Amino acid sequence: MGILEPITSAENLPEGTIRSYREHGFVHVPGVLSSEEVVEFRAAARDALQRLQDRSLTKGRGRVEQIFTQIVNVWREDETLRRLTLHPTIGAVAERLAGIPLRIWHDHMLVKLPHNNAATEYHQDRPFWPFRDDRHTLSAWVALVDVPVERGCMTFIPGSFTRTDLRPQNLADDHDLLNLCPDLIWEPRVTIPLKAGDCTFHHGFCAHMATPNFTDDPRLAHIVIFMDAETRYSAQRHIVTDPLGLAEGQVLDHELFPLVGKEHR
């Protein structure tokens, strides 16, 4: 059997998928990567993990380190993973879902080691980011291995992206978000296992979690985060923007934050 090509593109993305994303705040998009791409990017991710694991943001952080290994802006360190972060299909699908021009905020590799015995607890992403005046943020969560429930797949709370008033939450505290927003306790949750090459997209304010990895193999995921192309800097501390000397209110127009499709137009 020959190599399978991706089955999803921005051009054939169903309108129902776009409506579902805008109603619920997340969506499953299968087959964003071809089988050949999965093999190439998975090998590059494994190699980058070996080379860069000492740069993990969770290293030495106790319980958080147990949850996952997180390496930010891998696209600046590895030419193969650069092509994944700047992948034209992923960026184009993100723009169709958001309905506005986007920039890349950053990428990160998220690895759950075998039998890590720790969930990533419910949280929203957007409260951690130094943004103001942004209309939309979303993340593409690309599975580089099969991610069944037992390996740490994602669970989302539909509609939770409407809660835009919450502080950053503790990823190691299973009560933190739900104490802040008790109504979410009673909302349904949707768990989405992924095949390698599949992707979920979720809104920056959509509450989500990931189960522990109970399997013998690491969970390898590559996440590309997109922001409104007109996003301004809020001066909130963040590891990506702290070294850049940005002025509060400045549009995040910088080589670290390329416009989606800029290298492909």
Task: Report the candidate in 221, 220, 222, 229 with the shortest Cα–Cα distance to residue 254.
Answer: 229
Nearest 10 degrees: Cα torsion 33, 39, 44, 47: 140
State the pLDDT at residue 68. 81
Strands (E), 73-175: 102-112, 120-123, 131-132, 137-143, 154-156
- pLDDT tens string 180-206: 999 999 999 999 999 999 999 999 999
Region of poorest pLDDT, from 4-18, 57-71, 143-157: 57-71
What is the pLDDT at residue 62? 64
Mind listing the pLDDT tens digit for each residue in 25-54? 999 999 999 999 999 999 999 999 999 988
- Which tens digits make up the pLDDT trace of 105-118? 999 999 999 999 89
pLDDT digits (tens, 9 = 90+) for 220-247: 999 999 999 999 999 999 999 999 999 9
Residue 138 dihedral angles phi and psi, to the nearest 5°: -155, 155
Sequence-ordered alpha helix ranges (H) in the chain: 15-24, 35-52, 63-67, 79-85, 88-98, 176-180
